[in-house]
Structure 1
Amino acid sequence: MPDVNPDILVWARETAGLAPEEAVKKLGINTTKNMSGAEKLSAYEKGVLSPSRPLLLKMSQQYRRPLVAFYMKSRPADGTRSEDFRNIPDRDPASDILISVLVRNVRARQSAIREILVDDESPALSFVASKSVKDGPAAVLENIVSVTGIKREEFRSKASPELAFAYLRAKIEAVGVFVLLIGNLGSHHTAIDAEAFRGFALADKIAPFVVVNDQDARTAWSFTLLHELAHIWLGASGISGKVSDAETERFCNTVANQFFLSDAELNSLKISKSSSVQEVIAEIADFAKARHISGSMAAYGLLRKGAITVETWRAITRFFSAQWRKSRDAQKDREQDSSGPNYYVVRRHRLGRALMQTVSRALSEGALTPTRASQILGVKPRSVSPLLSEPLGGRAA
């Protein structure tokens, strides 16, 4: 197993906002006859002593870093902080902390995967940061479609929103983007509501990552995936929410919306600015369902076309959001009365084929230990083998 990088120990403590004296207390490093607690921490951070596994677990908790972060070869480069594109009037500090930890966790996984791909001499991905807002949404979408091969008709031909999302995900992962479904820090107690964040993108020329909040409605997953993919094309790492006034967010929303809905379809709807909220909802409900999209997404298309007002769009979004929450709560009640899906099936679905394939290959080649593989996959070491036991094959097309 690779050694812990002592410089990363310093970086993790400092970015957690802890002075050495504070860290000693929080980590419970006791003074002994020959060495004080502060001296011990200094020895760990200079590489003179190696921290034990229990101490690393404490550091992971107190520094709010995943274990895999302590094995990175170097500190993350300056400028890796994601921009926050969300516009949330009444922010929940607790959710913001969870999101910050989640982003750091995924960045650590990304760093580990990047090292594997660099060692494999994987080529840089030319599409990352290849476009700008000045190119216009249509040009960006055209290039995304050309590179990934995604097709609107094929997306709609799937039997359910989940299968439609799986189709998009497979196509996007096949070109080198890692797509994860994550909405908590490993337990339902740390679930992050979709109102707090819908997804985020971590642009990188070797290992770009997209995270979709699986706490959101499943009809919204595909839109979030395309939205975050547009971020990758712009090279704009960031966290996205349901509402934002940022130019980049509006741009990426338009890119995604234009893929799922053509202007001709929107024009066929009998809706105008004089239409009531109830009339618009009645008109777009079945329209959206037939296309595996949310009613809110259809309403955004109408807003983009100038067919409805901002006030009408917001009212419609609130209606469909409330409707989804009611359906979600009913689903949770049903799940409590059943045994639920298999743990490994759920975990594979969240991690995605691309990430599991990369870890599986690195394990078989001896480039990863089971312990480090468990850190990247977010499972216990004993769970790595059964998680990867299902044949993964080549990249999904």
Structure 2
Amino acid sequence: MKSFPVNANPKVIQYYMEAYNISLEELAKKINAKNSSIDGIVKGTIKLRYVQLQKMAKMVEKDPLIFMLDKPPEDKPLSNVFRKLINSEHLTYKIMVKINRIKELQEVANELYNNIEKSIEPIIDEYSIKRDPAEVAAIERKKFYSYDEQKSWKKPYESFNKWRSALENKNMLVMQIPVDTEYFRGFSLIDSKPFIIVVNSKDDINARSFTLFHEYAHLLLRNIETGELNNEIEKWCNEFASNFLLSSDVLDYYTNKINDIDKLVKTISSKYKVSYSMIYYRLYSIRRINKDTYNAYISECSNSSKIVKGSKARVGGPPQEVLKKSAYGIPFLRAVIENYEKGNITIEQALNYLSTTYNTFKKLEESV
């Protein structure tokens, strides 16, 4: 059937182009429009064809009808924040789709929690950035596992999952998305509730534990990301996370026992399931190594010689229900399932929230 022109709202088109970092060239290519006409399409002087509208909607995973609304959403596009919070001048629209999806799931979680009368309030304290991050780390650490318990965990994945569950028990969500680590290792959304910590599932598993508590530090400060990369805040969060996962007492014990730096780092990493990068950071902070040694290691990391990338997908891979637990976390899965079982949402909504199939959803029902 031949396509027909549609009355799309140019302001809505412009909003989603900004929200998802879509350039004119990218849009023209994806919707098969001529470069000479794409500017007119965006400004509303040239009408979109329906087929082009469908392709545009597919780019941002939205219903085509959303581009025909009277006005764009009132929320400020997340792209304005994330452009300045990562080590990249440009986030691809595919990455922005994943980031905006997390924001949408935060809103979904808020509604799901209210439906089942579950509190959206995090069970955490609040601190001033004027407090010593090492002191705050020591206070917070007492609310979690001991260092002996941390050392008893056999594998890095066990360690990460223990920390993740402990944070989830404080009534927040922890989700994972796969993105190249050159863009970001994690972020947190705390402008609404429940709070969400997001970790990059492509990162080294030990590094992910550090990211969990770096973002937890942002929550403790109630630091809403405003788009300005505040070096003071980032340093505070790094200090908190590194002291939380590796106390001065533990560090002193091993530095007094082992002189060789490589052996020292490997020993601590193996016993406490923390990343090499974090250990080098702590050793530099206590002046156990000098700036040149620390910078040399960081430079080596940049060349990927000591950074262990996220494990490559095996043939077949884990079952889908396992992947969903890893991506969304148990609390969110339980909220979706409970709302479905109580008739608050349809099966179609449940499947959409979890981006899954009916068979996988039924397996999640049985195992969550």
TM-score with structure 1 length normalisation? 0.70
Q: Which residue of 1 aligns with 2:365?
A: 389
| Alpha-carbon spacing, 1:142–1:285, altered in 2? closer, same or farther (3 Å) | closer
| Alpha-carbon spacing, 1:10–1:382, altered in 2? closer, same or farther (3 Å) | farther
Question: Residue type matched to 2:97 in 1?
Answer: V
Q: How does 1:309-388 map to 2 (within 5 A)?
A: 309-319=290-300, 322-324=304-306, 328=309, 332=312, 338-379=315-356, 381-383=357-359, 385-388=361-364
Question: In 2, Cα distance between the equivalents of 1:312 and 1:78?
Answer: 43
- Within the alignment, does 1:117 sit opposite 2:113 as a pair? yes
Q: Which residue of 2 aligns with 1:171?
A: 166
- For residues 14-42 of structure 1, the C-alpha deviation after alignment (integer angstroms, 9 at most, x for no partner) is 42248xxx9999779xxxxxxxx99xxxx
| Alpha-carbon spacing, 1:122–1:221, altered in 2? closer, same or farther (3 Å) | same
- For residues 335-373 of structure 1, the C-alpha deviation after alignment (integer angstroms, 9 at most, x for no partner) is 65x443223222222221111111111111222222222
Question: In 2, Cα distance between the equivalents of 1:230 and 1:132?
Answer: 11
Question: In 2, Cα distance between the equivalents of 1:181 and 1:230?
Answer: 18
- For residues 132-173 of structure 1, the C-alpha deviation after alignment (integer angstroms, 9 at most, x for no partner) is 3123314543554466x3433323221101001111111111
- Within the alignment, does 1:213 sit opposite 2:194 as a pair? no
C-alpha RMSD of the superposition: 4.2
Q: CA deviation at 1:199?
A: 0.6
Q: CA deviation at 1:86?
A: 4.5
Q: Which residue of 1 aligns with 2:241?
A: 256
| Alpha-carbon spacing, 1:232–1:59, altered in 2? closer, same or farther (3 Å) | farther
User: SS of the residue aligned with 2:187?
Assistant: strand
Q: Which residue of 1 aligns with 2:3?
A: none
Structure 1 contact 201–239 (Cα < 8 Å) conserved: no
Structure 2 stretches lacking a partner, 5+ long: 1-8, 19-23, 33-40, 43-49, 67-71
Question: In 2, Cα distance between the equivalents of 1:55 and 1:366?
Answer: 37
- Within the alignment, does 1:108 sit opposite 2:104 as a pair? yes
Q: CA deviation at 1:13?
A: 3.0
Structure 1 stretches lacking a partner, 5+ long: 1-8, 29-36, 39-51, 184-191, 393-397
Question: Residue type matched to 2:362 in 1?
Answer: P
Structure 1 contact 141–255 (Cα < 8 Å) conserved: yes
Q: Which residue of 1 aligns with 2:35?
A: none
Q: CA deviation at 1:82?
A: 4.0
User: SS of the residue aligned with 2:101?
Assistant: helix
Q: 1:154 aligns with which of 149, 152, 167?
A: 149
Q: Which residue of 2 aligns with 1:47?
A: none
Q: Which residue of 2 aligns with 1:16?
A: 16
Length, aligned pairs only: 335
Question: In 1, Cα distance between the equivalents of 2:349 and 2:53?
Answer: 13
| Alpha-carbon spacing, 1:239–1:346, altered in 2? closer, same or farther (3 Å) | farther
User: SS of the residue aligned with 1:135?
Assistant: coil
Structure 1 contact 180–212 (Cα < 8 Å) conserved: yes
Structure 2 contact 122–171 (Cα < 8 Å) conserved: no
Structure 2 contact 188–218 (Cα < 8 Å) conserved: yes
| Alpha-carbon spacing, 1:75–1:157, altered in 2? closer, same or farther (3 Å) | farther
Structure 1 contact 201–228 (Cα < 8 Å) conserved: yes
Question: In 2, Cα distance between the equivalents of 1:102 and 1:170?
Answer: 23
Q: Which residue of 1 aligns with 2:58?
A: 61
Q: How does 1:216-295 map to 2 (within 5 A)?
A: 216-238=203-225, 246-270=231-255, 279-295=260-276
Q: CA deviation at 1:323?
A: 4.0
- For residues 152-201 of structure 1, the C-alpha deviation after alignment (integer angstroms, 9 at most, x for no partner) is 33232211010011111111112211111211xxxxxxxx2213210110
Provide the identity percentage. Answer: 23
Structure 2 contact 280–294 (Cα < 8 Å) conserved: yes
